Structures are given as C-alpha cells and as structure tokens.
Chains A and B, each alone.
Chain A
C-alpha cells in the first residue's frame, strides 16, 4: 500500500488566493520530508526540506514567504502556496526518507493550477 499520501491530488485556485498541500507519511514517523516542484521539460527541483519542530530549509531561489512549509507532526508536512499566481501552476511532490535514510518514498503528487 501507499507509504506517502498527498492531498489534494489536484487543485484549481484563483490568482491571489492561497492553497495548502498536505503530505502524510502513513507507515512511519518522519522528522524530515522533502518538497519538489516539476518544471517544464520534466525536471524536478528540490524546493525545501521540511523539518519537524523547526524551520524548513529552503533551496536557493525559493521564496520562503511564498512557499510556507509547516511540519506540524512526525507524519504531516504542509506546503502553502501564498498569493498564488499563474506561474505557480505546477506539479508539487513530496518525499519521505525512512529513519535510516536508506529508502525514500514519494507521494503521488499534487497538480496545482492557478487561474
């Protein structure tokens, strides 16, 4: 069965609104989760590392005030796209490493469309 879930699987929102994407680790607790965004030509970019109980670590060029990450518990991380614009339309995917960091499990992804 699925190890990592994401909700919603797809969302359409209006420009200027905020949208929250959830990533849940179903089988084990995770102090770390990763958020990715898919760009044209199929490349995946690491956006940030979500850390339970502390601030997320953002990759260079990713606006922390725009992409708010909250690792609320050991099984849940949320990514909130604030004041969304059409250029934020993309596919967002999270991944969860296991406790030994030997396996990494990917969620099914969330398609965001900003109109």
Chain B
C-alpha cells in the first residue's frame, strides 16, 4: 500500500532552536516530493524535490531527499514564532498519483 508518513506529528520548540521534520514514503514509481507550510487554512508551497542529495534552500528553510532510504527532511534553523504552522509532505508517484502525509504541527514559543 502506498503511504507517506511524517514525524513527529507535533513539535514544540523555542525561538532560535533548529528543527528537523521527517517525511518517509513507500510508493511505486516515485516522481517527486513536495513540502508545504500550512498556516490557518491555506497551505503554501515550499519545495519540490526530485533528485537525491541535492539540498534545496530558501532562507532559513532547507530540504533534502534520499531516494535510496525513501525519506526527506525539512530543516528550519533559528526558528521564529512565525514558523509555527503545520508542515505537509506530499509524494507524487506513478503517472500522476499523489499522496499527502498527515503533517507535522510545529509550535515555536517566544
């Protein structure tokens, strides 16, 4: 069965901490892995990863994919209260199938 598992489900840190969010997957014919940040109701796109070992970076956020071990991590350095959100991982596979993980809720305390 195709699945996408995110961990941890929730995480509480303090401002300035660095966090690592995990997304593992088991799908057939992997195509891509996407990360979203969801605040309130509307998720915003962060990264799309297709190749192993190539880090994508945007400000304090970075992500990398390991297609051999079937997982990706999303790193956030020097966290701020504005980073508090649910972070979603989605995996595209087969021709145009997609599956979302349940998300990780990050809370950054001042």
Contacts and interface: CB of A to CB of B under 8 A. Distances in A.
Given A42-B34, A106-B88, A36 B43 contact: yes
Interface in A87-104: 91, 93, 102-104
Contacts of B97: 9-10, 111
A104 B98 contact: no
A113 to B, nearest CB: 8
Chain A at the B interface: SS class: strand
How many chain A residues sit at the interface, stated as a range, is 20 to 34
B18 interface: no
Interface string B1-44: 00010000110000000000000000000000010101001111
A22 to B, nearest CB: 16
Contacts of B86: 104
B98 A106 contact: no
B42 A44 contact: yes
Interface string A1-16: 0111000011000000
Interface stretch (B58-66, B75-83, B101-109): B101-109
Interface residues of B, number: 24
Contacts of A2: 102
A112 to B, nearest CB: 10
Given A36-B43, A42-B48, A46-B41, A108 B34 contact: no
Interface of B: 4, 9-10, 34, 36, 38, 41-45, 48, 86, 88, 90, 96-103, 105
25 contacts: A4-B102, A9-B97, A34-B41, A41-B45, A42-B34, A44-B42, A44-B44, A46-B42, A49-B41, A93-B100, A102-B105, A103-B9, A103-B105, A104-B38, A104-B86, A104-B103, A105-B102, A105-B103, A106-B88, A106-B101, A106-B102, A108-B100, A109-B98, A109-B100, A111-B96
